[in-house]
Amino acid sequence: MSESPWKSSTDRRNEREEKRIAVLRTAAQAFNEVGYYNTSLDDIARRLNVTKPTIYYYIKNKEEILFECVRIGLERLDSASNDVIGHGGSAYEELVAVMTAYVGVVTMDFGMCVIRVGEEPLTEESRRTLRALKRRIDLKFRSLIERGVAEGSITACDPKIAAFTLSGALSWIARWYQPDGALDADAVAQQSIALLLNGLRPR
């Protein structure tokens, strides 16, 4: 029997999803570089060498693109923290691992979009969905800090304030980090985390 020239439904779905992610990633790059309001669907289409109607095959409108970009970024932050939590060691060691993973995500396209653009241009309903994801990530920071204080690997502190301070400082990296700069993401993560956890005072 000859092989069919038509792809299976599974292959077609996978191909469509790959192209959809390519649209979203290209949009995230544009949003990060020139801003959400300065990016049009025509701009995204030109970057992909396709027509604007092609974009509509994969996404409904620009707001949906931003929602998906931020959602993917937040889910990757959540997933990255899940990957390193619960593998043994002290809460302090796990916190360092989570912070390192956090920097790894916010210095990439979708994670950077979470910080540089965020959910403000979206509807209230979309913002609520994304804020629920943010709370989930924040609670992981707080939980690790609380556990560290209890076991003595982290100094006594207010876990809420500590979590906000750490995640806020790490998030800001996305605003100034340049992939082609002198330091790669790993070096930026190591130096930033050391500074946040050890301070500037000589020991």
DSSP 148-169: HHHHTSS-S--HHHHHHHHHHH
**Residue 203: its pLDDT value, please?**
67
Task: Tell me which residue has tokens 């790959």.
Answer: 18
Inside any domain, residue 37: no
pLDDT band per the 50, 70, 90 thresholds, residue 86: confident
**Residue 202: its pLDDT value, please?**
77
Inside any domain, residue 38: no
d(CA 201, CA 63): 46
Inside any domain, residue 30: no
d(CA 134, CA 104): 17
Task: Tell me which residue has tokens 């002198």.
Answer: 182
Higher pLDDT, 88 or 57: 57
Inside any domain, residue 95: yes
pLDDT band per the 50, 70, 90 thresholds, residue 46: very high
Inside any domain, residue 135: yes
Calculate what percentage of the chain has a pLDDT beyond 90: 85
Give the distance from CA 37 to its chain's centroid: 20
- Joined together, the tokens standing for residue 144 give 């690790």
Contacts (Cβ under 8 Å, ≥6 apart) of 106: 73, 77, 112, 114, 115, 170, 171, 173, 174, 177
d(CA 69, CA 57): 17
Inside any domain, residue 72: yes
Domain that holds residue 131: 62-198
pLDDT digits (tens, 9 = 90+) for 91-144: 999 999 999 999 999 999 999 999 999 999 999 999 999 999 999 999 999 999
Q: Which of 46, 48, 61, 39 is nearest to 19 (CA)?
A: 48
Tally of structural domains, the chain: 1
96, 151 in Cβ contact below 8 A?
A: no
Inside any domain, residue 187: yes
**Residue 1: its pLDDT value, please?**
56
Q: Which of 115, 117, 108 is nearest to 137 (CA)?
A: 115
Could you tell me the pTM of the whole model?
0.90
Q: Which of 26, 69, 66 is nearest to 50 (CA)?
A: 26
* Average pLDDT value over all residues in the chain: 93
- Joined together, the tokens standing for residue 20 give 């959809």
- With 80 as the cut, is the pLDDT of residue 83 above it? yes
Inside any domain, residue 71: yes
Q: What's the CATH number where 79 sits?
A: 1.10.357.10
d(CA 164, CA 60): 34
**Residue 2: its pLDDT value, please?**
60
Average pLDDT over residues 153-165: 95
